[in-house]
Amino acid sequence: MKDSKKIFVLTGAGISAESGIPTFRGKDGLWKNYSATDLATPEAFNRNPELVWEWYRWRQDLITRAKPNPAHFALVELENLSESFLLLTQNVDNLHQCAGSKNVLELHGNIFRTRCLKCGSIDKIDNAVFKPLPHCPCGGLLRPDVVWFGEAIPYDVWTKALKFLNSADVAIICGTSGVVWPAAAIPEIAKNCGVKTIEINLELTPISPIVDISILGPAGKILPEIVKLLRH
Ligand code: BJW
Ligand code: ZN
Ligand 2 centre to CA of 202 (Å) is 42
pLDDT at 232: 82
Under-70 pLDDT residues of the chain: none
Q: Provide DSSP, 14-70.
A: HHHHTTT---SSSGGGEETTEEHHHHSSHHHHHH-HHHHHHHHHHHHHHHHH----H
Ligand 1 centre to CA of 147 (Å) is 10
pLDDT at 30: 87
Ligand 2 centre to CA of 122 (Å) is 9
Q: Which SS3 state, helix, strand or coil, does residue 38 take?
A: helix
Longest dimension (CA), the chain: 58
User: For the whole model, what pTM was predicted?
Assistant: 0.97
pLDDT at 12: 98
Write down how long the chain is: 232
Check pocket membership of 58 for ligand 1, CB cut-off 6 A.
Answer: no
Check pocket membership of 24 for ligand 1, CB cut-off 6 A.
Answer: yes
Distance CA 119, CA 3 (A): 48
Check pocket membership of 52 for ligand 1, CB cut-off 6 A.
Answer: no
Check pocket membership of 202 for ligand 1, CB cut-off 6 A.
Answer: yes
Would you give the DSSP letter of residue 141?
Answer: B
In this structure, the residue with its CA closest to atom 35 of ligand 1 is: 152
